[in-house]
Structure 1
Amino acid sequence: MSRAERLLELIQLLRRYRRPVRGETLAIELGVSIRSLYRDIATLRAQGATIEGEPGLGYVLRPGFMLPPLMFSEEEIEALVLGSRWVAERADGHLALAARNALTKIVAVLPSDLRDEAGASSLLVGPGEQLATGDQEIATIRKAIRAEQKLLISYVDAKSGVTERVVWPIALAFFDHCRVVAAWCETRRDFRHFRTDRIKTIKGLDVRYTRRRVVLLKEWRAAEGIPEQ
């Protein structure tokens, strides 16, 4: 384990403890000497981490500290590159551009060795099918989800029947062959799933739904048997 990876692991350990934890305990979990642990804590403090405590009393990490990108491991870099490439190929144009821009910003501040690793990553995204839903429709859905606002949609079901519904969108799933909106449907008074390629028309209502999205998302996960992430 490199020192950068060890510092990252130390931060993760400290985040798991809400009360002060003894240095000896941390050293044992990291597999390092107590002297090395003290040096690592000093390094993290110099980088801006608010680690309170001292030898013999224990240490606790106060919230708010974010590690710089140089602390990413090689596998984490690969995950970021692969994820960004997938979004760039499979998501709508706005989100694809955001993914490319985010990856560019991350790579720009990496140490040279990790920057080379990111540029030469062999994890690729294969070509996918062009989906029918336009970028503007997907952008409207994503905006409504972020703002917790209702949508008025005209939806074509599997039997070609058309219905008009007011829905509360809570999640958007990207599959290789389609995109699906999970939403509370005011017509059905229950959660429903809508394929975006079957949405004939869509309009943002600029009206917030009456319950918080995080609560609805939790209820939807429970109803679908999807574990919390």
Structure 2
Amino acid sequence: MSRSERLLDLLQLLRGYRRPVSGATLAAALDVSLRTLYRDIVSLQAQGAEIEGEPGVGYVLKPGFLLPPLMFSEDEIEALVLGMRYAGRRGDARLGAAASSALAKVGAVLPADLRETLDASTLFAVLNESQPDEPIDLAGLRDAIRRERELEIEYRTGEGVSSRRVIWPFMLGFFDRVRVTVAWCALRQDFRAFRTDRILSMVETGRRYPRRRQEMLARWREKEGIPT
């Protein structure tokens, strides 16, 4: 492993800790000596990384630091391309545009050889072309999830029965043929999954739901037996 790769790995490792982590732990993870680890931290600090701490106390990276140019392996680049192409094909208009913009930003800061790998990627998301007509704005639903807003919806089941629901949406899943939002349903007093093409109308109630979406996601995973 080159020194530049090691420095990037150290940054990624530090990003995974919210509290100070010991130099010994970092050195063991990178398979380097403590002396080398301390030199690498000094190098990153000299390049502008806001790493706080000292030997014997531990180190923590303040959030928000980026080290250009971005460095990815070829496998990582192909994963990015595939994911962005899927989002561009299956997301709503705003999400699709954001995927294209993000991929362009990544390409703009990659070294020339890696940018060529990005441009020449032969991985494609081959999907069913038919997509359901959706009465609601998915960008608005994503925004409500992000801001933890309660929604009132009119929902029609597969049997054609309509009902009004108050929900706390916390997740949006993209499948080949449908999209599904998972939410707490006030009517059922339980978690429910709603196909977005069956949501006939959607308005914010003006209230923020009382639980954090991360908490609801964790509770839903536990109920469904899904590993975290």
TM-score by length of 1: 0.84
2:62 is aligned to 63
- The 8 Å contact of residues 140 and 204 in structure 1, kept in 2 or not, is answered as no
Which segment is superposed worse, 169-178 or 148-157? Answer: 148-157
Instruction: Please give the residue correspondences for 1:82-93 in structure 2 after superposition, counting only pairs within 5 Å.
Output: 82-93=82-93
2:20 is aligned to 18
Matched length: 224
> Which residue identity lines up with residue 146 of structure 2 in the other structure?
R
2:185 is aligned to 185
Deviation at 1:201, TM superposition (A): 2.1
- The 8 Å contact of residues 181 and 195 in structure 1, kept in 2 or not, is answered as yes
1:4 is aligned to 4
The alpha-carbon distance between structure 1 residues 61 and 18, as it changes in their structure 2 partners (threshold 3 A), is closer
Structure 2: any 5+ residue segments left out of the alignment?
A: none
> Which residue identity lines up with residue 80 of structure 1 in the other structure?
L
The alpha-carbon distance between structure 1 residues 222 and 133, as it changes in their structure 2 partners (threshold 3 A), is farther
Structure 1: any 5+ residue segments left out of the alignment?
A: none
Matched residue SS, 2:104 = helix
Aligned-residue CA RMSD (Å): 2.5
Instruction: Please give the residue correspondences for 1:127-146 in structure 2 after superposition, counting only pairs within 5 Å.
Output: 127-134=127-134, 136-146=136-146
The alpha-carbon distance between structure 1 residues 163 and 34, as it changes in their structure 2 partners (threshold 3 A), is closer
- The 8 Å contact of residues 136 and 202 in structure 2, kept in 1 or not, is answered as no
Instruction: Please give the residue correspondences for 1:73-222 in structure 2 after superposition, counting only pairs within 5 Å.
Output: 73-134=73-134, 136-222=136-222
Deviation at 1:40, TM superposition (A): 3.2
- The 8 Å contact of residues 153 and 199 in structure 2, kept in 1 or not, is answered as yes
Partners of 1:179 and 1:141 lie apart in 2 by: 11
- The 8 Å contact of residues 155 and 164 in structure 2, kept in 1 or not, is answered as yes
Partners of 2:111 and 2:184 lie apart in 1 by: 46
Partners of 1:173 and 1:218 lie apart in 2 by: 16
Partners of 2:37 and 2:186 lie apart in 1 by: 56
Deviation at 1:33, TM superposition (A): 6.5
- The 8 Å contact of residues 152 and 202 in structure 1, kept in 2 or not, is answered as yes
Deviation at 1:120, TM superposition (A): 0.9
TM-score by length of 2: 0.85
Partners of 1:135 and 1:45 lie apart in 2 by: 51
Partners of 1:46 and 1:113 lie apart in 2 by: 26
Deviation at 1:35, TM superposition (A): 6.8
For residues 71-103 of structure 1, the C-alpha deviation after alignment (integer angstroms, 9 at most, x for no partner) is 333322222221111100111111000111111
Deviation at 1:227, TM superposition (A): 2.1
Identity of aligned residues (%): 48
> Which residue identity lines up with residue 54 of structure 2 in the other structure?
G
Deviation at 1:58, TM superposition (A): 7.5
Matched residue SS, 1:169 = strand
> Which residue identity lines up with residue 199 of structure 2 in the other structure?
I
For residues 134-158 of structure 1, the C-alpha deviation after alignment (integer angstroms, 9 at most, x for no partner) is 4852122112111211222111112
Pairing 1:53–2:54 present: yes
